[in-house]
Amino acid sequence: MPGPRVRFAPSPTGFFHVGSARTALFNWFVARQSPDGVFVLRIEDTDESRNREEWVDGIVAAMEWLGMHADVGPYRQSDHASEHFGAVELLRAAGYIYMCDCTPDMVMARKADDKTPGYDGFCRERGLAPGPGAAYRFKVPREGTTLVSDAVRGEVTFQNEHIEDFVVAKSSGAVLFALSNVVDDRRDEITHVIRGEEHLPNTPKQILMWRALDEVTSDVVAVPTFAHLPVLVNEQRKKLSKRRDPVAVEMYRDQGYLPEAFANYLSLLGWSPRGTEEKVAIDLCVEQFKLSDVSHSPAFFDVKKLAHLNGEYIRELPLSEFIERCAPWVRPWSTSWAPADRQPDWSAQQFDESAFEQMAPLVQERVATFGEVAEMVDFIFLDAAPVDDAAFAKSIGADPLSRDVLVSAVSRFTEASWDVETLHAVTVELGEQLGLNLRKTQAPIRCAVTGRNVGPPLFESLVVLGRDQTIVRLRAALARSQR
């Protein structure tokens, strides 16, 4: 028996939404469960007014980043426009489609006292010919029901009388997505249509058109298994919005999320593998995934949880791999890809590979994304400590003993052996002389040298930075504190 054939059909009207990525991933799981499964990538570009080529490139790049390689495609739905309109003509000749020249205002005027939504069927029997201003409407049966067998939601019944005669093509002949998808799914021999729950109301319409095409083409094709996935919501349990929420997959790539961690997290949105572990290899997800196990309930896209999971993945990387995968954020001039929304504050000439390799194990334990690495190590490569007025005010300006700490540090660090153990011991001692614990003593030194109140371990950082730069920065902070 042939393996499943699934399709992912995104519209290139914006950045690649995390909900779309989850849908693509679940389709990909189903395809990969069989040696001869097929994953089709179809770009749904029928809305010419909203499509942009860069969005197509973004979708393809994001899917490649996540490891979801298409077996067929990507191809444009518009490539088959003539085939789509051919289906319209067949259906119209057989009486399944009629012409309608009603404007929305005309429909509203006729239905002034009728609160039932949708088109009223006024042109159903008028026998209009195609022409300017006349759209193509599908003639929905007045009686009976249309049953959607949904792998996630079970059997969902729609009363045909509540489905309006819907438009399938504009007067220009441009075919709308509902019929285009049916034609494409039949041609591509799609066995499973897995998509978001917002498409559920379209499904009975597509089943009706599917069966009509069976009739007019004398080619009976099995209706696919449908599965409508739960919506993704934010922490207020509102549907994720492009205007309000961080939903662009490209943004998470730029921030430095690992594709394997991101895919792992997406797999847990509405479904979970057996056991209690949340860090799950994609191969195991493929093995265990079942549409019938997908939840009906909305799934919370928790950015904090995603970041935590990504941090776990980062900490498990071999150090050499961590260093290499940091490259787009710390030395982008040497990589084929770099994040679009950021670049390091240092030049290629300022970057010191050896120094970064020394800092890498200190940083790896403390970051949740690769995008956080640059701020952890920038003080090593810059000529002076980064300026953070709030950090300076808190650690040095607001503490009357901070100047004494810095004065003592300059004196003691000038003569001390430059190793972690000695620097630690010297700092403890000078703090005790001032009645301060180690945390209070480290704070002004860290801020003076790194420009921040938090960061990698202080004494290891001082060793990498070197004695001369450390003393210069301590003195600079002292001078600033006197202004």
Are 428 and 470 part of one and the same domain? yes
Same structural domain for residues 371 and 397? no
Q: How many domains does the structure of the chain reveal?
A: 2
What residues are paired with 8 via a beta bridge? 41
Q: Does residue 321 sit in the same domain as residue 362? A: yes
Mean pLDDT over all residues of the chain?
94
Assigned token pair, 442: 């480290």
Chain centre to alpha carbon of residue 389? 34
pLDDT grade, residue 482 (50/70/90)?
confident
pLDDT, tens digit, for every residue of 37-93? 999 999 998 777 677 888 899 999 999 999 999 999 999 999 999 999 999 999 999
Q: Is the pLDDT score of 310 beyond 90?
A: yes
Q: Is 422 part of a structural domain of the chain?
A: yes
336 occurs within a structural domain = yes
Please say whether the beta carbons of 436 and 373 come within 8 A. no
> Higher confidence at residue 109 or residue 17?
17
User: Is residue 275 in a domain?
Assistant: no
How far is 251 from 168, CA to CA, in rounded Å? 35
CB 457 within 8 A of CB 389: no
pLDDT at residue 234 tops 90: yes
- State the virtual CA torsion across 369, 372, 377, 382 in degrees, nearest 10: 140
Q: Are residues 395 and 477 in the same domain?
A: yes
Domain boundary among 381, 400, 417: 381
**Residue 465 and residue 431 share a domain:** yes
Q: Is the pLDDT of residue 251 over 80?
A: yes
Residue 338 falls inside a structural domain = yes
Residues 326 and 355 in one domain: yes
Q: Which among 435, 438, 448 is positioned nearest to 403, based on CA atoms?
A: 448
The verdict on 402 and 475 lying in the same domain is: yes
The domain in which residue 363 lies consists of 317-381
Residue whose C-alpha is closest to residue 252's, from 55, 21, 10, 52: 21
For residues 232 and 399, the model is more confident at 232
Is the residue at 253 inside a domain?
no
Q: Residue 30: pLDDT band by 50, 70, 90 thresholds?
A: very high
Condensed to tens digits (0 to 9), the pLDDT of residues 345-390 reads 999 999 999 999 999 999 999 999 999 999 999 999 999 999 889 9
Do 353 and 401 lie in a common domain? no
Whether 470 has a pLDDT exceeding 90, the answer reads: yes
User: Does one domain contain both 350 and 333?
Assistant: yes
181 inside domain: no
Residues with catalytic annotation? 242
- The C-alpha atoms of residue 340 and residue 329 are separated, in whole angstroms, by 10
Q: Give domain status of residue 359, yes or no.
A: yes
User: Are 364 and 438 in the same domain?
Assistant: no
SS3 of residue 299 by DSSP: strand
Q: Which DSSP string do the residues of 419-483 spell out, in sequence order?
A: SHHHHHHHHHHHHHHTT--HHHHHHHHHHHHHSSSS-S-HHHHHHHH-HHHHHHHHHHHHHHHT-
pTM: 0.92
The SS3 of residue 267 is helix
Closest CA to 259 of 344, 366, 369: 369
In this structure, the answer to whether residues 432 and 471 fall within a common structural domain is: yes
Q: Does 408 map to a domain?
A: yes
Residue 74: cis peptide before it, omega within 30 degrees of 0: yes
Determine the pLDDT at residue 48.
73
Q: Which of 326, 349, 381 is the last residue of a domain?
A: 381
Burial class (CB in 10 A: 0-12, 13-18, 19+), 73: middle
Of 363, 381, 399, the one marking the end of a domain is 381
Q: How many angstroms separate the Cα of 122 from the Cα of each of 7, 95, 310? A: 36, 16, 57
Q: Looking at the structure, do residues 393 and 377 belong to the same domain, yes or no?
A: no
Write down the pLDDT at residue 275: 79
* CATH number of the domain within which 443 lies: 1.10.10.350
Question: Looking at the DSSP assignment, which residues form a beta bridge with residue 195?
Answer: 228
